[in-house]
Amino acid sequence: MTPDTTAAAPPGTHLIEVTFKGNRREFFTWAFPHPPALRTPVIVDADRGEDLGVVNATGELAAIRRSGTAHGKASPSPLRPALRAATADDIAKGATLREDEDNVRRRAIEKVRAQGLDMKVSDTEWQWDRKKLTIYFTAEKRVDFRQLVRRL
């Protein structure tokens, strides 16, 4: 059975699945004549600004994945657009952000220890345009980290 790809993306656009750091995936529209090749770095209109990701699927495969995965069913409607293919400068900026994330993670760990919180900082992720920083953590029990957020 072939999925209804017309419902997946507006006419004249292509549906693409994009992968981000940490294997986070999301669906976007690509409003250019030809869909991007797999593994093409792209700049997308993300949650709170622009972000850099890599094309994971296009067309019919993306439509199948969108209809059958949790991250597909939770996609906003209408989908946000992929803005363009990433340039060499964009990719270099992304690499610089990944390096900075290690520094941020170490500083966050220091602050967690200084406050004696029973939690582990596992990763950090800057959005490509630096408008959003996500800090991932784990804890065995519920932790009140409001003071930590203020200090970070």
pLDDT by residue for the chain (152 residues), tens digit each? 444 444 445 667 899 999 998 888 999 999 999 999 999 999 999 888 899 999 999 999 999 999 888 777 777 778 999 999 999 999 999 999 999 999 999 999 999 999 999 999 999 999 989 999 999 999 999 999 898 888 88
Rounded CA separation 89/9 (Å): 29
- pTM: predicted TM-score of the whole model, two decimal places: 0.81
pLDDT at 79: 93
122 and 64 fall within a common domain: no
Check: CB of residue 121 under 8 Å from CB of residue 137.
yes
Domain span including residue 111: 91-151
The domain boundary residue, chosen from 86, 101, 131 = 86
| Extended strands (E) in the chain | 14-19, 25-30, 41-46, 49-58, 81-85, 120-126, 133-138
Q: Which amino acid belongs to residue 121? A: V
Number of separate domains in the chain: 2
